[in-house]
C-alpha cells in the first residue's frame, strides 16, 4: 500500500525522508510509515502489540532530534529522517552488538531465512560482527514436549512476554536481571518450559522474530531458497508485517 492510497491532508501528515505521509490519530511514526508501505528498520516492534522501544533499531531523527519511531507519536508537520548514512551506520552498529552478545550461527539455525535479525543485518549491509564475540553459555530448554527454547539467540525484544501476557493470558515468559545479566526467564517454579501451560498454538510460541522459540520435529522443513526472506528482502515486505 502506498501513500497515494490516502488523501493527503496537510493537517494530518508529516514528511519521511522528504516524502509526505498521512497518519491516523494515535499512530506512531513507525505505524504510519508501515501503513504507507515505507520501511523503517525495527526488531522489537510488532503491529499487534504496544510499542516497547527497547532495540533502538528504529531510531530516526524527528525535527533534528533522535527518537524511536515506534514510540514517537506522528504529528502534523514533523520532519522525520530515517534512511540516512548516519542512522543506518548507527543501526549497523546495534546489529553487530546484538550478534556478538548472543550466539547467532545463521547457517545452522532453523530460523535462517525467516529471521528478522538476519534479514535486517542483510538490509543494513552488515559485513561481520566487528566486535569481539561473547559466546555466552546459556541453557537450551528441551523439556517441553512440543517446543524448544534456545536462550542463546534471545535479543530481549520481549515480544513473547507481551504475547503471553496480553494475548494468551498466561504470563509464561518474563525478563529478569540487569545490564549484561538481563535474560529471558520462564515463569515456573523450576524455570523449565515443561512446567508451564505454554501450548504450540499460543501466540507466544509463534511471535519470536529470531530462533529462540521453535516447534519440535519441524526444523528445516522449508528448503533454502524458499524461506520468507530468501524470496525478497525485509524492506520489500512492509505490507506483510505480522504474518508468519
Using the predicted structure, report yes or no on whether residue 217 has a pLDDT greater than 60.
Answer: yes
* 136 exposure class (CB count in 10 Å sphere: 0-12, 13-18, 19+): middle
Q: In 3D, which of 86, 22, 37 has the Cα closest to residue 60?
A: 86
Q: What is the mean pLDDT of the chain?
A: 92
Reported as a pLDDT band with limits 50, 70 and 90, residue 219 is confident
Q: Where are the beta strands (DSSP E) in 65-164?
A: 65-68, 79-81, 140-141, 147-150
- Rounded distance between C-alpha atoms, residue 30 and residue 68, angstroms: 9
pTM value is: 0.92
- Rounded distance between C-alpha atoms, residue 96 and residue 102, angstroms: 10
pLDDT at 10: 52
Section 214-234 average pLDDT:
92
Q: In 3D, which of 142, 193, 146, 190 has the Cα closest to residue 170?
A: 193
Question: 162-211, pLDDT tens digit by residue?
Answer: 999 999 999 999 999 988 889 999 999 999 999 999 999 999 999 999 99
pLDDT at 3: 39
Look up cell 504450540; give the residue: 200
Section 131-144 average pLDDT:
90
- Rounded distance between C-alpha atoms, residue 151 and residue 36, angstroms: 35
pLDDT at 242: 65
- Rounded distance between C-alpha atoms, residue 200 and residue 214, angstroms: 9
CA 223 to chain centre: 23
pLDDT at 2: 38
Question: 199-216, pLDDT tens digit by residue?
Answer: 999 999 999 999 999 999
The residues, any chain, with a CB within 8 Å of residue 224's CB and separated by 6 or more, are: 112, 113, 230
Reported as a pLDDT band with limits 50, 70 and 90, residue 149 is very high
CB 121 within 8 A of CB 104: no
Reported as a pLDDT band with limits 50, 70 and 90, residue 9 is low
Q: Domains along the chain?
A: 9-83 (3.10.20.740), 104-217 (3.30.70.20)
Question: 37-73, pLDDT tens digit by residue?
Answer: 999 999 999 999 999 899 999 999 999 999 999 999 9
| 3-state DSSP assignment of residue 215 | strand
Question: 65-122, pLDDT tens digit by residue?
Answer: 999 999 999 999 999 999 999 999 999 999 999 999 999 999 889 999 999 999 999 9
Amino acid at each position: 500500500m502506498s501513500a497515494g492510497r490516502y488523501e493527503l491532508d496537510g493537517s494530518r501528515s508529516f514528511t519521511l525522508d522528504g516524502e509526505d505521509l498521512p497518519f491516523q490519530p494515535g499512530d506512531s511514526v513507525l505505524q504510519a510509515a508501515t501503513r504507507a508501505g515505507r520501511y523503517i528498520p525495527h526488531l522489537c516492534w510488532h503491529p499487534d502489540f504496544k510499542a516497547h522501544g527497547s532495540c533502538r533499531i528504529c531510531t530516526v531523527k524527528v525535527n533534528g532530534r533522535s527518537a524511536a519511531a515506534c514510540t514517537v507519536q506522528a504529528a502534523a508537520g514533523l520532519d522525520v529522517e530515517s534512511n540516512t548514512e548516519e542512522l543506518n551506520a548507527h543501526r549497523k552498529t546495534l546489529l553487530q552488538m546484538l550478534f556478538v552478545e548472543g550466539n547467532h550461527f545463521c547457517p545452522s539455525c532453523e530460523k535462517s531465512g525467516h529471521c528478522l535479525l538476519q534479514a535486517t543485518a542483510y538490509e543494513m549491509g552488515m559485513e561481520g560482527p566487528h566486535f569481539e564475540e561473547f559466546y555466552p553459555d546459556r541453557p537450551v530448554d528441551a523439556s517441553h514436549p512440543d517446543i524448544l527454547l534456545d536462550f542463546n539467540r534471545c535479543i530481549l525484544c520481549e515480544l513473547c512476554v507481551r504475547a503471553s501476557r496480553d494475548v494468551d493470558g498466561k504470563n509464561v515468559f518474563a525478563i529478569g536481571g540487569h545490564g549484561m545479566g538481563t535474560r529471558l526467564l520462564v515463569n515456573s517454579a523450576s524455570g523449565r518450559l515443561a512446567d508451564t501451560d505454554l501450548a504450540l498454538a499460543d501466540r507466544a510460541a509463534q511471535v519470536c522474530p529470531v530462533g529462540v522459540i521453535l516447534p519440535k520435529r519441524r526444523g528445516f522443513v522449508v528448503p533454502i531458497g524458499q524461506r520468507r526472506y530468501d524470496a525478497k528482502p525485509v524492506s520489500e515486505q512492509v505490507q506483510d508485517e505480522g504474518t508468519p
